[in-house]
Amino acid sequence: MKSATPGICFVLLFLLIGQTGVHAADELCLTNLTSTRLYVALSDGESSPNTAGWLSPKKKVCRTKSGETPASWTVSVFAGPDVIEGCTEIVPADAHAEIVRFIEFDRCTFRFQPKS
């Protein structure tokens, strides 16, 4: 049985180290800290949201942007996909967002956590 060459081992180690949870500036995560299932949309501010869907309580969703890192992201939260009123928050590029409280009509509470 042949052993793996040192070059292949280095590449595999590099790939594993690259997956340690370090978040780049081109990624936004939103964590739902409420007890309510929410419909969320994450946008880089330059195009229509390409990450939208249901987010269960105590769960997290992330979106990455290829190309130039945006100065900020936009997070929108609704009671459902057909609901017009909800909450929208601008998130700095160096932070992730957490929704702490959801009340329709722009009365939500968001918290930002620095990216690590």
- The pTM of the full predicted model, rounded to 2 decimals, is 0.72
Give the right CATH number for 23-114 from 2.60.40, 1.10.3470, 1.20.120, 1.20.140.
Answer: 2.60.40
pLDDT by 10s per residue, the chain, length 116 = 444 444 333 332 223 323 334 445 578 899 999 999 999 998 876 665 567 899 999 999 988 876 666 778 889 999 999 998 999 999 888 889 999 999 878 789 999 998 87
Long-range contacts of 102-108 (CB under 8 A, 24+ apart): 102/34, 102/36, 102/38, 102/77, 104/78, 104/79, 108/77
